[in-house]
């Protein structure tokens, strides 16, 4: 079912449903990843996996990544395929919904950014800006399950 | 130059149990078949993607004046909807629904439910309302309303076993739906009561 879960990021507790995002992403994953010609690079996992981020830093990095996807990624992923575009819209609007929930923690200072997560996010941005914007956006979208797996 | 077609009017959404349908009044053009196209815009498109609109291909150049938009209203944010009419090369302006639609406002109806006494077993059959729905089932011995028991059903399988009954008293059941994505519940269904009867179903 559309399973809301309570996510614990250090002191930040947020109830979010990932199911619809997962469904949307699963429906387009193969298509999006097929559009990514650069196999030897990762935006989210280079040089270190997200799993190396301490759980206390989880809120900060999640907050940054939600903003990253909403501000930078989704808008550069428009395709010629209406079905794909509709699913990207679904994911993007769901991200907005979650971003709003996470903002509550941010406003309550439960989303502090330690140096490590700041560095990690800088690395992600560097990976992203190392490619042309469309390739970077498509690759980032194709790696969405890395973020979802790490969050869950 | 082709005269502009009238813009579709009375654009509204009927949303029940997380199924959302857009409808509008027909545009009348004597002797012609008018076709309609629908587009949606989520909060993301409004705030981050240059107010772009996304076509719903199942509702492109259709003759019906209703469109199932459930698949595209898949986040709990405010959506805009618009409709346009076409006849041959003639086209109308976009008619945009007044106000936004957020699925959090969907109306939730009590679930259809069938309570079965299978011998001494108290069973309930619940309507499959789709993946977004869970059920809260309350059951109690008639006369012992203070000792209500609750069962949350997340996946609707065919039949749900509630309890093993004693012979004699009536057992009563009612249920409501719960939608996690919008964190809302329906009202409760009508109460249904049954009684164990030596292995045969007994309705009251």
What would the pLDDT profile of B103-122 be if each residue is shown by its tens digit?
Answer: 999 999 999 999 999 999 99
* B133 contact A CB<8A: yes
Q: Tell me, yes or no, if B93 comes closer than 8 A to chain A by beta carbon.
A: no
B99 against B158, higher pLDDT: B99
What distance lies between CA B126 and its chain's CA centroid? 15
Residues of B in contact with A3 (CB under 8 A): 180
Q: Provide the pLDDT for residue A39.
A: 82
pTM to 2 decimal places: 0.88
pLDDT confidence tier of residue B47, bands split at 50, 70 and 90: very high
pLDDT for the residue B198: 67
| B39 has a chain A CB within 8 A of its CB | no
Phi and psi dihedrals of A34, rounded to 5?
Answer: -70, -20
Whether the per-residue pLDDT at A115 is higher than 90: the answer is no
**B63 contact A CB<8A:** no
Beta-strand pair B19-23/B160-164: unpaired
Which of B45, B48, B155 minimises the CB distance to A71? B48
List of E strands, chain A: 4-9, 12-17
Q: How far apart are CA A23 and CA B186, in angstroms?
A: 25
Average confidence (pLDDT) over A70-82:
95
List, in sequence order, every beta strand (DSSP E) within B74-153: 80-87, 90-91, 95-96, 113-118, 121-126, 133-141, 149-153
Q: Which of A3, A4, A17 is nearest to B131 (CA)?
A: A3
pLDDT per residue as tens digits for the range B65-75: 999 999 999 99
| Chain A residues close to B181, C-beta within 8 Å | 2, 4, 17, 20
- Chain A closest-CA separation from residue B160 CA (Å): 17
Say yes or no for a CB contact (<8 Å) between B57 and A83: yes
């Amino acid at each position: 079912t559309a399973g809301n879960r309570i996510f614990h990021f250090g002191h930040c507790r947020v109830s979010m449903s990932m199911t619809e995002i997962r469904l949307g992403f699963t429906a387009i994953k193969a298509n999006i990843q097929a559009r990514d010609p650069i196999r030897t690079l990762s935006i989210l996992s280079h040089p270190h996996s997200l799993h190396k981020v301490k759980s206390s830093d989880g809120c900060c990095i999640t907050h940054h990544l939600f903003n990253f996807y909403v501000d930078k990624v989704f808008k550069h992923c428009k395709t010629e395929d209406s079905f794909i575009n509709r699913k990207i819209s679904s994911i993007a609007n769901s991200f907005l919904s979650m971003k709003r929930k996470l903002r509550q923690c941010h406003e309550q200072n439960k989303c502090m950014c330690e140096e490590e997560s700041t560095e990690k996010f800088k690395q992600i941005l560097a990976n992203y800006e190392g490619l042309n914007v469309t390739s970077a956006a498509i690759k980032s979208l194709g790696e969405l399950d890395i973020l979802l797996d790490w969050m869950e | 130059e082709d005269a502009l077609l009238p813009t579709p009017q009375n654009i509204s959404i009927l949303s029940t149990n997380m199924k959302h349908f857009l409808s509008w009044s027909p545009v009348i053009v004597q002797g012609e078949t008018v076709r309609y196209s629908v587009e949606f815009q989520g909060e993301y498109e409004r705030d981050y993607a240059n107010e772009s609109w996304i076509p719903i291909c199942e509702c492109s150049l259709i003759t019906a004046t209703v469109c199932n938009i459930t698949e595209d209203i898949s986040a709990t944010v405010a959506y805009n909807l618009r409709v346009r009419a076409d006849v041959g090369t003639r086209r109308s302006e976009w008619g945009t629904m007044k106000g936004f639609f957020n699925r959090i406002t969907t109306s939730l109806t009590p679930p259809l439910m069938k309570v079965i006494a299978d011998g001494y077993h108290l069973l309930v059959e619940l309507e499959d309302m789709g993946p977004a729905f869970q059920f809260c089932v309350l059951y109690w011995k008639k006369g012992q309303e203070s000792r209500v028991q609750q069962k949350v059903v997340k996946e609707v399988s065919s039949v749900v076993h509630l309890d093993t009954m004693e012979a004699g008293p009536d057992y009563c059941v009612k249920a409501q739906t719960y939608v996690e994505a919008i964190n809302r519940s329906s009202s409760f269904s009508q109460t249904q009561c049954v009684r164990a009867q030596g292995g045969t179903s007994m309705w009251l």
